[in-house]
Amino acid sequence: VQLQASGGGLVQSGGSLRLSCAAPGFALGFHATGWFRRAPGKEREGVSCIGSSGFRTYYADSVKGRFTISRDNAKNTVYLQMNSLKPEDTAIYYCAAQRTGRVRNDTPWDSIRAYDYWGQGTLVTVSS
């Protein structure tokens, strides 16, 4: 299984981007899906997560009120709308899927250990 993240790019501070996570040949709609990022010199961190139904969502404190995760199961795609971007949001963004549809409750949603499937990242650069 290979998830495909796209939509990254260069944007000015205060701007917006929308990332997409697609999964050709994999029924992403049955899996809780998350976004992670790794900034230069930092550990990978959880950004947001959404359950398979789209009803339950989670956000890191650093992005609450600015980022919105959503999904379109008919298109087998999960999105991350990023508004009011800051230079500290600069990172490679990855999408990942859990084995279950419900977000796991035995492992924190923002732990990489909760996810079984990963994709390549997409680079987001926010200039000041």
Q: Band of the pLDDT at 74, cuts 50, 70, 90?
A: very high
CB count, 10 Å around CB of 76?
16
pLDDT tier, 128 (very low <50, low <70, confident <90, very high otherwise): very high
Ramachandran region of residue 2, left (φ > 0), alpha (ψ -120 to 50) or beta? beta
* DSSP helix/strand/coil, 1: coil
Q: For residue 108, give the 3-state DSSP assignment.
A: coil
Q: How sure is the predictor about 1, in pLDDT bands with cuts at 50, 70 and 90?
A: confident
How would residue 84 be classed by pLDDT, with cut points 50, 70 and 90?
A: very high
